[in-house]
Amino acid sequence: MDFDYKPVEDNIDLDELYELMKPYDTRPRQPQPAQAVREVKPTEVRQVRSAETRRKAAKKEEEEKSDPLYECYGVLHDIAYVLMIVTLLFVFVVRLVGVDGKSMLPTLHHGDYLILESNFLYGDDDIETGDIVVLTVPYYKEEPIVKRVIATGGQTVDIDFQNHLVYVDGVALDESYLMDYTGQESWYNWTGEYAMEYPATVPEGSIFVLGDNRNNSTDSRFAPVGMVDTRCILGKVLAVALPGETRDEQGNVTDPRDWSRIGLVD
């Protein structure tokens, strides 16, 4: 007799079969050993919490930085710091002032912008003959003027107006920075109550100053200016930062800007 054999697929799931037979299994079961539970230390809990706190803080900071207002605050913060540094620099280290007038020709011109060493650094012990300083005097109603130091406290000044010579402690100064006055009339001098008497000794704590343009300068030769207290000094001129130019009433340039003059001042 012939039989037809059909293949049987072996798809028996043993785990599933075991679960089906459990209700009919009456054998005593062995107690399962309890699993050991590891004790979590407080320091580990704190570390987890700390890490989670840092993640939250970093996420919050990242969200804040992406906010346009936060970016604006950062820019304003940087600008404030820059302004503070610049302010401190220009108050305690250097200053920037402009020249008004022709009393310091040919060294300085009208309209020049000068860099000063601030009086915070330039004290009485630093003042020397020949220094160019910016100062205030009551006669000019506290308006700054720029002049050259001719003598300091304790020194004696004498002036030969006819021969264009200045003597300090009996020694004639070599003033190569002046205009050439050879063959010209004597330097201008004030008379009467506005005149100074020579020789004149400079008091301690004061200076005697003159403009380089001797016939167009109101300086220590003028009694209302006279000897200037060193506390009136705003600073010493270091350099010309921007040369000036002079124009007449019609706007025509009479003294053009000379860029080669930028630099240190003697």
236 flagged as catalytic: no
Q: CA 86, CA 94: separation in Å to the nearest integer?
A: 10
Which tokens hold the place of 220? Answer: 């220590």
Of 125, 158, 100, nearest in space to 233 by CA: 125
- Which of 6, 22, 147, 186 is flagged as catalytic? 147
As a whole number, the mean pLDDT across the chain is 82
- Phi and psi for 99 in degrees, rounded to 5? -95, 130
pTM of the predicted protein model: 0.68
Which tokens hold the place of 185? Answer: 């009339």
Q: CA 86, CA 101: separation in Å to the nearest integer?
A: 28
Which tokens hold the place of 217? Answer: 């300068």
Calculate the CA dihedral of residues 139, 145, 149, 154 and round it to 10 degrees.
Answer: 30
pLDDT of residue 37: 52
Superfamily, domain 94-238: Umud Fragment, subunit A (2.10.109.10)
220 flagged as catalytic: no
Lowest mean pLDDT among 23-27, 192-196, 237-241, 242-246: 23-27
Of 121, 92, 59, 110, nearest in space to 257 by CA: 110
- For 191, the 3-state DSSP assignment is coil
- Which of 22, 66, 103, 118 is flagged as catalytic? 103
Residues 82-110: tens digit of each pLDDT: 888 877 776 767 888 999 999 999 999 99
**Amino acid identity of 220?**
S
**Residues comprising the chain, all counted:** 266
